[in-house]
């Protein structure tokens, strides 16, 4: 619970990681240059590789933070060895890919690609070893008496028992702490000033006569004004005070506490994206969006005349859709249907194969001949890269509904729009032709939001490419 201690340990681990990366890099050069030379070209002089080492260090440190390799220090938590090994895999793969792409774009022919692959492998092994050793060291450090925390748990019986039950199933909550529970001061009832002061005096007397590092206040229906004098006295005595807020009746993915002036604000979020992760997601969106837009310009030269020759009407189909949290935007696609497609939708509603707030039929008579080809190859989606560059959409996300569909949404359906809509997503790579229940789509989208990571986005992008190339 000590934020300074957690920050110190986190920065210590970052320094260790940086040292491991540099050591792995130097060790790889030594192995490659001095020992494993048979059948391989000679490496360039070390100064050439030394210049690259700074870039490698920066890229790897960013990726370590991005893929949550420091989360195990949250709330005194010690994560499993398996999670440590798992979280480091995308760091090495993405880092290796980023370096390879960077060297390709600058047309570098000096740096050995086998050197980079060897470095990634060695760095992974040494990084896992270092983190596991640090984990053991951190655990043993907490066992020492000088780091042992004496926690005074105050509250009414129900709240204290709930907190202790949670601590038993979540050991990291009170890691290396001895807890002294005391049931007193039923805050739900209005006490006289004398009764309240008597309780405060008892607590301060206990704190004075015993070793106490932290005080935890656990009350159901807590009214802070009732406890303000006690909190102030603990502060004057140099004791950390933790207030347990019971959010058990509230559904949320992540909560944050911020201080604005005299107010402490608790924010509840339906997704768990850090600012760095959002920045990387936006960067990926714009990078892929730019490449996709250039591809769209080339495709346009072929597709546009074909659409005009096949059927009368515009080249593009522009339709109002609902974006993040219900924002309106115009989705752009190559037109694949007759111009009166929307007007004929009502007469075809009986053939709708989807259960819920979506419309789809197998042999839609409104689709043109060119439209069938565009849909089969997904070329009709390429204009949506314009929406990505405008910021209306993301590369990976949930499919944006029409205004008509949005009006029929139930409360849990709206969570699909808590993130930016995407060109591709879980539905597209999970067999969209086999899923005909809208609730199943909602479950897939909700799973995506709850488990989002940059690595998950990259997996969906690669799966999408596989689906397109295989014609599924």
Give the pLDDT confidence score for residue 194 in this predicted structure. 81
Domain 148-246, CATH among 3.40.50.2300, 3.40.190.10, 3.40.50.2000, 3.40.50.720? 3.40.50.2300
pLDDT digits 0-9 by tens, 169-181: 665 555 556 666 6
Residues 245 and 235: their CA atoms lie apart, in Å, by 19
Q: Does the pLDDT at position 182 exceed 70?
A: no
Confidence of residue 187 (pLDDT cuts 50, 70, 90): very low
Instruction: Please state, as a whole number, how many other Cβ atoms lie within 10 Å of the Cβ of residue 59.
Output: 18
Q: Which residue has the higher pLDDT, 301 or 242?
A: 301
What does the buried/exposed string (b/e) look like for 71-101 if buried means 16 or more CB atoms within 10 Å of the residue's CB? ebbeebeebeeeebeebbebbbebbbebbee
pLDDT digits 0-9 by tens, 135-160: 888 777 766 655 567 788 887 777 77
Q: Which two tokens stand for residue 227?
A: 């406890």
Backbone angles phi, psi at 208, to 5 degrees: -70, -35
Instruction: Please state, as a whole number, how many other Cβ atoms lie within 10 Å of the Cβ of residue 436.
Output: 15
Give the pLDDT confidence score for residue 75 in this predicted structure. 46
Q: Does the pLDDT at position 372 exceed 80?
A: yes
Q: Which residue has the higher pLDDT, 393 or 431?
A: 393
SS (H, E, C) the chain: CCHHHHHHHHHHHHHHHHHHHHHHHHHHHHHHHHHCCCCCCCCCCHHHHHHHHHHHHHHHHHHHHHCCCCHHHHHHCCCCHHHHHHHHHHHHHHHHHHHHHHHHHCCCCCCCHHHHHHHHHHHHHHHHHHHHHHHHHHHHHHHCHHHCEEEEEEECHHHHHHHHHHHHHCHHHHCCEEEEEEECCCCCCCCCHHHHHHHHHHHHHHHHHCCCCEEEEECCCCCHHHHHHHHHHHHHCCCEEEEECCCCCCCCCEEEEEEECCEEEEEEECCCCCHHHHHHHHHHHHHHHHHHHHHHHHHHHHHHHHHHHHCCCCCEEEEEEECHHHCEEEEEEECCECCCCCCCCHHHHHHCCCECCCCCCCCCCCECHHHHHHHHHCHHHCCHHHHHHHCCCEEECECCCEHHHHHCCCHHHHHHHHCCEEEECHHHHCCCCCCCEHHHHHHHHHHHHHCCCHHHHHHHHHHHHHHHHHCC
Q: Which residue has the higher pLDDT, 194 or 352?
A: 194
Q: How far apart are the first and last CA of the chain?
A: 51
Residues 66 and 425: their CA atoms lie apart, in Å, by 21
* Contact predicate 400/323, CB 8 Å: yes
Q: Which residue has the higher pLDDT, 359 or 122?
A: 122
Mean pLDDT, the chain, integer: 82
Q: Does the pLDDT at position 471 exceed 70?
A: no
Give the start-to-end residue ranges of the domains of the chain. 3-143, 148-246, 275-470
Strand arrangement, sheet containing 177-183: 177-183, 149-155, 214-218, 240-244
Q: Which residues on adjacent β-strands are paired with residue 94?
A: none
pLDDT digits 0-9 by tens, 220-242: 665 667 788 888 888 888 888 88
Q: Does the pLDDT at position 408 exceed 70?
A: yes
pLDDT digits 0-9 by tens, 304-341: 999 999 989 999 999 999 999 889 999 999 998 888 77
Rounded mean pLDDT, 432-440: 76
Confidence of residue 81 (pLDDT cuts 50, 70, 90): confident
Q: Does the pLDDT at position 94 exceed 80?
A: yes
Backbone angles phi, psi at 239, to 5 degrees: -95, 140
Q: Are strands 328-334 and 316-322 parallel, antiparallel or unpaired?
A: antiparallel
Residues in CB range of 397: below 8 A, 6 or more apart? 419, 420, 421, 422, 423, 425
């Amino acid at each position: 619970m000590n934020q300074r201690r957690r920050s110190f340990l986190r920065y210590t681990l970052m320094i260790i990681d940086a040292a491991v990366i540099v050591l792995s890099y130097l060790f790889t050069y030594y192995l490659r240059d001095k020992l494993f030379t048979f059948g391989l070209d000679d490496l360039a002089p070390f100064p050439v590789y030394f210049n690259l080492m700074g870039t490698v260090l920066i890229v790897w440190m960013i990726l370590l933070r991005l893929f949550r390799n420091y989360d195990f220090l949250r709330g005194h938590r010690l994560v499993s060895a398996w999670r440590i090994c798992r979280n480091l895999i995308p760091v090495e793969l993405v880092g290796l890919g980023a370096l390879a792409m960077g060297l390709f774009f600058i047309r570098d022919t000096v740096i050995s690609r086998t050197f980079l692959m060897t470095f990634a492998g060695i760095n992974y092994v040494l990084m896992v070893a270092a983190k596991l050793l640090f984990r053991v060291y951190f655990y043993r450090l907490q066992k020492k008496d000088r780091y042992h925390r004496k926690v005074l748990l105050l509250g009414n019986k129900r709240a204290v028992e709930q907190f202790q039950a949670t601590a038993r199933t979540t050991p990291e909550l009170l890691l290396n702490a001895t807890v002294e529970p005391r049931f007193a001061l039923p805050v739900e009832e209005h006490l006289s000033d004398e009764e309240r002061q008597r309780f405060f005096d008892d607590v301060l007397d206990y704190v004075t006569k015993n070793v106490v590092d932290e005080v935890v206040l656990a009350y159901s229906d807590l009214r802070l004004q009732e406890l303000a004098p006690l909190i102030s006295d603990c502060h004057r005595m140099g004791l950390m005070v933790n207030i347990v807020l019971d959010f058990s009746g509230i559904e949320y993915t992540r909560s944050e506490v911020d201080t604005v002036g005299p107010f402490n604000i608790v924010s509840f979020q339906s997704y768990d994206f850090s600012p760095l992760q959002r920045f990387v997601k936006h960067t990926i969106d714009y990078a892929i969006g730019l490449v996709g837009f250039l591809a769209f310009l080339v495709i346009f030269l072929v597709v546009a005349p074909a659409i005009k020759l096949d059927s009368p009407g515009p080249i593009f189909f522009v339709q109002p859709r609902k974006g993040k949290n219900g924002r309106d935007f115009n989705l752009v696609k190559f037109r694949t249907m007759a111009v009166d497609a929307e007007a004929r939708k009502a007469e075809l509603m009986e053939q709708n194969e989807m259960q819920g707030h979506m419309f789809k039929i197998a042999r839609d008579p409104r689709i043109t001949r060119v439209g069938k080809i565009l849909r089969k190859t997904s070329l009709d989606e390429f204009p949506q890269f314009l929406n990505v560059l405008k910021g209306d959409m993301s590369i990976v996300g949930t499919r944006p509904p029409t205004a008509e569909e949005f009006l029929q949404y139930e409360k849990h359906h709206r969570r699909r729009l808590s993130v930016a809509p995407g060109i591709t997503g879980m539905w597209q790579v999970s067999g969209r032709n086999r899923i005909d229940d809208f609730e199943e789509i909602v479950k897939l989208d909700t799973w995506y939001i709850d488990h989002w990571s940059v690595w998950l986005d990259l997996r969906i992008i690669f799966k999408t490419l596989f689906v397109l190339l295989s014609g599924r």
